[in-house]
A = this chain, B = another copy of it.
Amino acid sequence: MAELKDLTKRSESYSQWYNDLVIKADLAEQSPVRGCMVIKPYGYAIWEKIQRTLDEMFKETGHVNAYFPMLIPKSYLSREAEHVEGFAKECAVVTHYRLKNAEDGSGVVVDPAARLEEEMIIRPTSETIIWSTYKNWIQSYRDLPIMVNQWANVMRWEMRTRLFLRTAEFLWQEGHTAHATREEAEKEAQTMLHVYNDFANNYMALPVVMGVKSANERFAGALDTYTIEGMMQDGKALQCGTSHFLGQNFAKAFNVQFVDKNNNLEYVWATSWGVSTRLMGALIMTHSDDNGLVLPPALAPIQVVIVPIYKNEEQLSKIKETIDPMIAELKKMGVTVKFDDADNKRPGFKFAEYELKGVPVRLVLGARDIENGTIEVMRRDTLEKETRSIEGITGYVKELLDEIQANLHRKALAMREENTRSVDTYEEFKTEIEKGGFILAHWDGTPETEEQIKNETKATIRCIPIGWDETPGTCMVTGKPSARRVLFARAY
């Protein structure tokens, strides 16, 4: 229980609670390299589940994986003018390719003779290197579409970092597709938005808002950026994934043309889309509580833990007789089970540990249970305990996992709805934004007004929500006409 005591309460400091939890639940830690994290085995096991699931969804929607170099020649960044403005500045620059022994024997130094003719940067994103490659892959409409995804590490030299949410190096996937027509590319960008939305809702139990970014918040080089925005428990927004319609910008920058069916030479249309280890942050912050992590069963590395209570080997072996077929049955149902009969930790310690690690269902079985034919079931989301008959327990556990998955989504959705408000005046907006949450307000559509609101309230337009109220009105700041309400929030 010692570990739990040190977990800051959310009400004391949400931010400290998050940091504590990431460390204490063994998800990740700071590395000796500034801003770079170590993803620990338990955290990585969750990331693997995210990867596997998304990878299947990408393949079902017609994509294949490939791999492109991690280094990008410096000059590539200048090719697409908007892109370089948005991205190129804060990145790791490779200037040399050799070390040598220091003359004073103190270790190794950079060999000045091994200076690169052109410096390289570690990819902050791969549009430029990939489009320089696509140039050779695409001649005719028959070479299109190209539907490629890459799982990779990327690096952005962030000054203020937080584990998972913002790190210098992070893991992600980046899809880069090439199309013959504008319509097809736009459709692809939207398809991937929906894939992300499905994943967030159905696996992460995170009811994100789908929308379009305003010009200010668009990806550097995109014509349209689609986003899924989640609301964390502190009412702040977290951008969870983006899908970009890039138009012909990168095709023009890298001169990628194709001969269409009518024998005309045209520039190729592009999309890119990505989610990263930031999703781990979203997952943690959406569901977890003061006792530790709460994981949706669909992404939990261990879905059910079974803890036996026993005084001697005889009792343990009796418990095992009951438990073994139960474990076999659960595994057959596709449930991941851990049986923890380690004898160097007391049951209370184990309970706290699995609570901290967010295992969705805990089963406890003692000698008396065996006599009575009962078992104790605890669900992590509500911490409710009940004693049930062992008869039919596996079916019950399976249903309970589904119910926990659904409940987490319900709870998060209710939280989001409670904390989403419409306001009509800028005064009201300034008051309401202090309370956190999402605010729907009218805006005149100009970058200047958006910038003013950001400077004065720290709130940004998270998105223009898709499928939400589209009634026109007047801008809360300027009184000019507004096409519809947009979603404001303070964000991570």
Contact = CB atoms under 8 A, between A and B. Distances in A.
Interface string A141-153: 0100000100011
Contacts of A133: 29, 31-32, 38
A38 B89 CA distance: 25
Interface string A66-98: 111111111111100000100011111111111
A152 B148 CA distance: 19
Given A41-B66, A71-B92, A96-B95, A119 B129 contact: no
A423 interface: no
B91 A33 contact: no
Most chain B Cβ neighbours within 10 Å, of A47, A98, A132:
A98
A121 B95 CA distance: 11
Given A75-B107, A108-B74, A108-B78, A66 B95 contact: no
A32 B132 contact: yes
A36 interface: yes
Nearest to A92: B94
B32 A73 contact: yes
B93 A97 contact: yes
Contact of A33 (B66, B72, B96): B72
B110 A69 contact: no
A39 interface: yes
A116 to B, nearest CB: 9
Interface in A94-150: 94-100, 106-108, 110, 119-122, 129, 132-133, 136, 142, 148
Contacts of A88: 99, 108
B84 A108 contact: yes
A88 B65 CA distance: 32
Contacts of A132: 32
A14 interface: no
B93 A96 contact: yes
Most chain B Cβ neighbours within 10 Å, of A36, A48, A93:
A93
A149 to B, nearest CB: 9
A175 B1 CA distance: 32
A264 interface: no
A431 B94 CA distance: 46
A64 interface: yes
Contacts of A129: 31-33
Contacts of A98: 89-91, 93, 157
B119 A110 contact: yes
Interface in A149-197: 152-153, 155, 157, 169, 171
A323 interface: no
Contacts of A415: none
A124 to B, nearest CB: 11
Nearest to A72: B33
Given A48-B65, A67-B38, A169-B71, A89 B94 contact: no
A153 B108 contact: no
B92 A93 contact: no
B90 A97 contact: yes
A82 to B, nearest CB: 13
A155 B76 CA distance: 21
Contact of A97 (B84, B91, B152): B91
Contact of A122 (B44, B48, B94): B94
Contacts of A75: 107
Interface string A13-36: 000000000000000010111001
A344 interface: yes
Contacts of A136: 29
A110 B93 contact: yes
A483 interface: no
Contact of A94 (B37, B84, B94, B148): B94
Given A32-B132, A33-B120, A39-B67, 8 more contacts: A33-B72, A44-B66, A70-B153, A74-B99, A90-B98, A92-B96, A92-B97, A110-B119
Interface of A: 29, 31-33, 36-41, 44-45, 47-48, 64-78, 84, 88-100, 106-108, 110, 119-122, 129, 132-133, 136, 142, 148, 152-153, 155, 157, 169, 171, 344
What 5 pairs between A and B have smallest CB-CB spacing?
A78-B107, A36-B69, A41-B64, A39-B67, A93-B96
20 contacts: A32-B73, A38-B133, A39-B67, A40-B66, A41-B64, A45-B64, A69-B169, A70-B169, A74-B99, A77-B99, A84-B107, A88-B108, A89-B100, A93-B94, A93-B97, A95-B95, A95-B96, A99-B121, A110-B119, A122-B122
